[in-house]
Amino acid sequence: MKKLAVLFALFASYPALAGDIAAGKAKSATCAACHGANGISPIPMYPNLAGQKEQYLVLQLKAFRDGERKNMVMAPMAKPLSDDDIANLAAYYASLDPVGK
């Protein structure tokens, strides 16, 4: 029972996701160069974003932006993003089909 309480507390600490898919799509033009227009990367070394879990994308973008995660390409891309931008991008990419259809 104690493990269940800890698990519940962990998930309760995450903010509700409320990203705007249309705003995320509009903001994603810069991302498309590496991650593809449909979230499927044309470059093998860059990850696909289509169909990723929304909260995962939020956490990763904030980590790049805030310097908790280091990457020479992503840090400057994420630095100017607001929390709303990140939520919108995450909602957009999470809404895409991971197969690219």
- Show Cβ contacts of residue 83 under 8 Å, excluding neighbours closer than 6 positions: 62
Per-residue pLDDT of the chain (101 residues; tens, 9 = 90+): 666 555 555 555 455 557 999 999 999 999 999 999 999 999 999 999 999 999 999 999 999 999 999 999 999 999 999 999 999 999 999 999 998 76
Task: Please give the model's pTM, rounded to 2 decimal places.
Answer: 0.82
Between vectors from CA 100 to CA 25 and to CA 69, what angle results, nearest 5°?
60
Number of H helices, E strands in the chain: 6, 0
Q: Is 15 helix (H, G, I), strand (E, B) or coil?
A: coil
* Cβ count near 90 (within 10 Å): 26
- Locate 46 and state its tokens: 């860059």
Domains of the chain plus CATH, in order, are 21-95 (1.10.760.10)
Side-chain-side CA neighbours of 42 within 13 Å: the count stands at 7
